[in-house]
């Protein structure tokens, strides 16, 4: 059994201060995929002594950052998506700290490719700031190109992280109020349609989580969103056709109380029978 957890930590130092270390010791995943790490390599290595680490920090201090951490050895590591930029599309001014993949070496032989991904949030009000949405769509094109390759590969692969897109109405509590907001725009959701319907990726959270609504993975720190479970499901584990049948259990590890949260996101944990 291989247990993989993904979590947007909203700053690794802050998450550790709030109790992430206790959660990690209790849950004990084999592989941990992090987003919004917001720290240099030395800080990440210090928190995860004894782990195998593949980390991509952002060029902008205090922003983004993704990591693959594993108790099992890591083989090849690939950073970023520069090689997958389609011709003619604009490049975001800063496009780091958003994609890292590593081949996790399994005890019985073979590997699983694990990707930690952090998609741009875009603009809260797209009509007021269309540039951010143009950058997000350009990045989604690169993601789609890489997903097509991983989907067709015979090697099991998973892509996990904060995709900053709620796919369907059941993935967001206030879907009617967010139809024109970033994270739930038809153009964004169409990318997920393509990944699932055309490329063959499986959204494990939905496949194993029932028809919904929820379970949500992000709630605002403000107001009563968490208490009233008024959230968004924007954190995913996606499995390619070679891996999806091996997923046997999917959990959203929602904190028991508001005070017990160490991030505004909840971890998504999948157990694979490999």
pLDDT band at 60 (very low <50, low <70, confident <90, very high): confident
Q: Model confidence over 215-268: pLDDT tens digits?
A: 999 999 999 999 999 999 999 999 999 999 999 999 999 999 999 999 999 999
Tokens coding 215: 């379970």
Q: The domain that contains 124 carries what CATH number?
A: 3.60.10.10
pLDDT band at 95 (very low <50, low <70, confident <90, very high): confident
- H-run or E-run covering 152: helix 130-152
**pTM over the 0.75 mark:** yes
Distance in angstroms (rounded) separating the CA atoms of residues 44 and 67: 9
> Please, where are the H alpha helices in 35-80?
41-47
Q: By residue range, what is the domain housing residue 230?
A: 2-272
Task: Estimate the crossing angle of helix 130-152 against helix 186-193, to 10 degrees.
Answer: 10
Query: Residue 213: how many CB atoms within 10 A of its CB?
Result: 16
Domain count, the chain: 1
The predicted structure's pLDDT at residue 116: 98
Distance in angstroms (rounded) separating the CA atoms of residues 205 and 192: 13
23 touches 260 (CB < 8 A):
no
Work out the burial of residue 228: count CB atoms within 10 Å of its CB; fewer than 13 is exposed, 13-18 middle, 19 or more buried: exposed
Distance in angstroms (rounded) separating the CA atoms of residues 192 and 184: 11
Length of the chain: 274
| Residue 125 per-residue DSSP state | S
């Amino acid at each position: 059994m291989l247990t993989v957890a993904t979590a947007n930590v909203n700053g690794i130092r802050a998450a550790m201060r709030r109790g992430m270390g206790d959660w990690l010791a209790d849950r004990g995943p084999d592989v941990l995929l992090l987003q919004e790490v917001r720290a240099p390599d030395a800080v990440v290595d210090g928190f995860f002594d004894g782990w195998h680490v593949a980390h991509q920090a952002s060029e902008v201090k205090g922003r983004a950052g993704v990591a693959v951490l594993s108790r099992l050895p890591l083989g090849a590591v690939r950073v970023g998506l520069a090689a997958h930029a389609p011709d003619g599309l604009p490049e975001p001014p800063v496009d780091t700290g958003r994609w890292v993949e590593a081949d996790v070496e399994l005890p019985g032989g073979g590997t699983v490719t694990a990707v930690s991904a952090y998609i741009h949030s875009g603009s809260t009000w797209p009509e007021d700031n269309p540039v951010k949405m143009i950058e997000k769509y350009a990045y989604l094109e690169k993601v789609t190109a890489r997903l097509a390759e991983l989907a067709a590969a015979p090697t099991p692969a998973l892509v996990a992280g904060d995709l900053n897109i709620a796919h369907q109405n059941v993935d967001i509590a206030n879907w009617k109020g967010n139809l024109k907001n970033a994270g739930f725009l038809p153009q964004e959701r169409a990318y997920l349609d393509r990944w699932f319907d055309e490329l063959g990726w499986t959204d494990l959270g939905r496949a194993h989580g029932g028809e919904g609504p929820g379970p949500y993975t992000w709630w605002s720190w403000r107001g009563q969103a968490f208490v009233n479970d008024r959230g968004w499901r924007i954190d995913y584990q996606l499995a390619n056709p070679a891996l999806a049948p091996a997923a046997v259990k999917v959990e959203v590890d929602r904190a028991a109380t508001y005070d017990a949260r160490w991030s505004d996101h909840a971890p998504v944990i999948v157990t694979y029978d490999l």
